[in-house]
Structure 1
Amino acid sequence: MNKPVTKETRVKTEVPFLSVNFIQKFIYLIFLMAFYLPVLLVLAKAFLTRNAFANLGQFVTSPLFVHTLSFSAQEAFLSAGLSLLLALPGAYFFGRYQFPGKKIMRSIMVLPFMFPGILVVLGMIIFYGNNGIFNHLVQGMPWLNWKFNHLYGFWGIVLANVIYNFTFCLRMLGESWQRIDPKLMEASKLLGAGPYSTWKRITLPLLMPTMAYLFGLVFLYSFLSFTVVLVLGGYLYKTFEVLIYIEYNQKLNFNQATVIATVQTLILAFFLSIQTYLSRRSRHLGDYSPDLPKLSRRRHPVLWSLLISYLILAAFSLMR
């Protein structure tokens, strides 16, 4: 007598190499080979030579490595710090008040990350260049004998990174500020604490994980900057990305470019481990979403004026 075909018997009679699990693993293996096999072949070709590790040690101890690491760390540190500093006042308004156009502004803030890097740099040159729109506006003020001519250099690179990243910091920091329970501030006020003491003891500690996470994220973006540094700094200012490009494309020194890429990968692995730790801490605020008070022009004329001034400043960064 034939047994009824059940799910268990059907699984037993399946061909092993046609199972869904096997097909998924096979597809993953193909993608891994397509993406990582070329990189592994280049690394193997560079490090299987006789003087590979000697070249690696020579580069790490060279003044070029020290200068590149120093410049990359300095401009990334300043870019991250200034981005957070500019985003903090706007995050207060976006996190504590409701005002017209807030949702649209939050959506516009992600636009810089959707544009190609070269388009952002060209916009910077058109707006802040020596003959750009900004200098033409300044020249129209006869009493102001000044011209912005620092775009091509260290501070121009920092400025480009700040304008590129601070709107993202503004959005993320404002959302974190909004998730802070206002009852904590009310309890602090009832206990006799002033605004500065409440900010120092309650608001700032709760925002610190998000600020640290954003600092690390912007630091990584700026540390890996290629287009901004290459266009605004030329060959005088070099990150590791620019250095790899010079060795590979200009000098045709493929082995040296691979060595530099390996060193950069090790440095990034260290920073990414710190970034992963900070990202875990930034999720501890929860999903609290209170009804925010409306920012009225009649009730809060000073705050309203400050908000308009800040939005004009933010518009300059998006109109570059």
Structure 2
Amino acid sequence: MIRRDIARFFIFTPVIIFIGAFIIYPVLMLFFRSFSGEFSTSNNVIDLLRNNNYIWSVVWFTLWQAFLSTILTLIIGIPGAYLFAKYNFWGKSLFRSLVSLPFVMPTVVIAIGFISLFSTNGLVDRVFSMIGLDGFQVNGVNGLVFILLAHIMFNYSIVIRIVSVVWENIDERLLEVASILGANWMDIFSRIILPILYPAILSAAILVFMFSFTSFGVVLMLGGYEYSTLEVLIYQLTTKMFRLETAAIIAIVQILIIYIFLYINSVLQQKFIRDNGLSYRRIVKKEKLVNSKSLIVLFSIVILVFVMLLPLVALVDRIIFISGNYLESFINLFKFREHSYFFISPWLAIFNSLKFALISSFISVLIGGIASYYLSSKKKQNRINLIDAFLMLPLGIPAVVLGLGFLLAYSYYPIDLRGSWVVIVLAHSIIGYPFVIRSILPMINNIPSNLYNSANVLGGSTIYIFRTITIPLIWRGVLVGTIFAFAVSIGEFGSSLILYRKDLVTIPVAIYRYLGQPGDANLSAGLAMSLILVSVVLISFILIEKIRFRGVGSFY
């Protein structure tokens, strides 16, 4: 037993080295340099933070907008989870893929979708004009309402994926027995369904709160100068005010808060996997959507169409409105304009994105697969939960902190990665491997232990057992994790923006550059590039839906 634990730790060693070299060391280097006096402009940063009313107003806004975003997302997402868990309908896999798109899309694309939807001469404005409501106009998209709508759009898929996975795997025999014994639908829901669902709902709520708490691009682009979260404040302090010591303290506090959330989420994940794990013998029934008259289903469909899909439709509409022709935007995008100072080759951006995504997804699967094997241990669960939460930290580390940490840590001999594509691949791998863990770990945890015991009794070696039992039962999770890491890398914006140079531009950075230049031609090119990105990510999620088994291994 001790030898097995030693072997497990030895296998885990590459993960320790990777985390230490490319997460802990860069972040610590940034914090050390921030407080070393090299970048410091204040002798007493703590007093500055304590007496700065603006910083505390940002803290307060960050907390309450995250709380409000979480409540609204749950209200809208839980009926959607019921729809996907209990009904079969045409295009179900496509719709599930579409609602997952915003989660990995660059915030700049989603922001442009909302701008195209609600701005002057936007889709909503022109629809109102067509039906005779010319006096009703949406004045711009800056404001709290649009921040909340964008957060709902981003986080809707989290609730769908976590809650629907548990809901669709509830054994129908439990509900049938309760019904036979005289329980009405309210008793069945409150005494059977809700106790099974509540860890998943709470886990989804924690993740939605965490992602809303660390929101950056949405608030930066849709909030204007009026609204700012801690993530935006860190970016402003670092890149515009050069107050690295103040930004470092705020980042430390944010990372600690995120770690607490991730630890609680890890405990909840283990609870509903342990109590309600996937059973291949479980009886699961689904109805046809055409036979349903449920208001919950109708509400879910309306939300799915009008909140989740309209911003994506508005992107296409904006292209046609600007160019007058759908294909003309793509023709203009690929025209040779190298004589322009601001020229960005779309072919280079596409090639770089695909290259970085392929390499980083391979690294993410290696690190995530090894980590999943180690985390699947049933011993010392509290320690496993602490390690699991720590491995998930890249989801909460500000992109500017990670990017600047890389630049400070690996800019000197003998390891100088400045201007190298390697540093971008490493950053994408760090952001991608948590999704691999969440795709593979549930599959490993749901393998019945008696299979391993029987194989050991029959004389099977460790390699033989892994090849004939483990791999056939987890291959779907491995493939889903690979595709998820690929999609995350394709859409990664924050770290790419900080670490890129002109010959290393990616699709999200190219979109940002196009949209930051004046003229309808550049706007049209940015929107066309956005649709290319949407198409690649959509294909990735369609593949995930085809591969997954009852939702397990499809992220969290």
Structure 1 length normalisation: TM-score? 0.81
Structure 2 residue aligned with 1:115 = 105
- 1:208-253 residue CA offsets vs partner (Å, 9 max, x unmatched): 1100000101111111110000111123211111111111122122
Q: Distance in 2 between matches of 1:231 and 1:51?
A: 29
Backbone CA RMSD of aligned residues: 3.0
Structure 1 residue aligned with 2:156 = 166
Structure 2 residue aligned with 1:271 = 261
Structure 1 residue aligned with 2:80 = 90
Q: Distance in 2 between matches of 1:290 and 1:213?
A: 25
> Residue 136 of structure 1 is aligned with which of 112, 126, 129?
126
- Find out whether 1:192 has 2:182 as its counterpart: yes
Question: How many angstroms does 1:308 deviate by?
Answer: 6.0
- Find out whether 1:239 has 2:229 as its counterpart: yes
Which runs of 5 or more residues in structure 2 are unaligned?
A: 1-8, 312-556
Question: How many angstroms does 1:47 deviate by?
Answer: 3.1
Q: Contact (CA 8 Å) 1:109, 1:168: kept in 2 or not?
A: no
Structure 1 266/154 Cα, relative in aligned 2: closer, same or farther at 3 Å? same
Q: Contact (CA 8 Å) 2:169, 2:284: kept in 1 or not?
A: no
> Residue 33 of structure 2 is aligned with which of 45, 62, 73?
45
Question: How many angstroms does 1:301 deviate by?
Answer: 5.2
Structure 1 74/197 Cα, relative in aligned 2: closer, same or farther at 3 Å? same
Q: Contact (CA 8 Å) 2:141, 2:222: kept in 1 or not?
A: yes
> Residue 251 of structure 1 is aligned with which of 241, 249, 258?
241
Q: Which amino acid aligns with 2:21?
A: M
- 1:165-214 residue CA offsets vs partner (Å, 9 max, x unmatched): 11332233222111111222222222322212221222112111100000
Larger Rg: 1
Q: Distance in 2 between matches of 1:145 and 1:96?
A: 43
Structure 1 residue aligned with 2:276 = 285
Q: Distance in 2 between matches of 1:60 and 1:269?
A: 23
Q: Distance in 2 between matches of 1:33 and 1:72?
A: 31
Question: How many angstroms does 1:38 deviate by?
Answer: 3.1
Q: Distance in 2 between matches of 1:199 and 1:27?
A: 42
Q: Which amino acid aligns with 1:62?
A: N
Q: Contact (CA 8 Å) 1:130, 1:149: kept in 2 or not?
A: yes
Structure 1 307/28 Cα, relative in aligned 2: closer, same or farther at 3 Å? closer
Which runs of 5 or more residues in structure 1 are unaligned?
A: 1-20
Question: How many angstroms does 1:269 deviate by?
Answer: 2.5
Q: Contact (CA 8 Å) 1:209, 1:282: kept in 2 or not?
A: yes
Structure 1 146/181 Cα, relative in aligned 2: closer, same or farther at 3 Å? farther
Q: Contact (CA 8 Å) 2:76, 2:300: kept in 1 or not?
A: no
Q: Contact (CA 8 Å) 1:47, 1:53: kept in 2 or not?
A: no
Structure 1 301/173 Cα, relative in aligned 2: closer, same or farther at 3 Å? closer
Q: Distance in 2 between matches of 1:312 and 1:168?
A: 18
Q: Contact (CA 8 Å) 1:135, 1:147: kept in 2 or not?
A: yes
Structure 2 residue aligned with 1:36 = 24
> Residue 311 of structure 1 is aligned with which of 282, 301, 319?
301
Q: Contact (CA 8 Å) 1:112, 1:318: kept in 2 or not?
A: no
Q: Distance in 2 between matches of 1:280 and 1:139?
A: 53
Question: How many angstroms does 1:77 deviate by?
Answer: 1.1
Structure 1 residue aligned with 2:142 = 152
Question: How many angstroms does 1:53 deviate by?
Answer: 8.6
Structure 2 residue aligned with 1:18 = none
Q: Distance in 2 between matches of 1:24 and 1:76?
A: 35
Q: Which amino acid aligns with 1:310?
A: S
Structure 2 length normalisation: TM-score? 0.48
- Runs of 4+ deviating beyond 6 Å: 21-24, 50-53
Question: How many angstroms does 1:73 deviate by?
Answer: 1.2
Farther-moved stretch of structure 1 (177-186 vs 104-113): 104-113
Q: Distance in 1 between matches of 2:216 and 2:46?
A: 22
Aligned residues: 297
Any idea what SS the aligned residue of 2:293 has? helix
**Structure with larger RCO (C-alpha < 8 A, sep 6+):** 1
Q: Distance in 1 between matches of 2:14 and 2:32?
A: 24
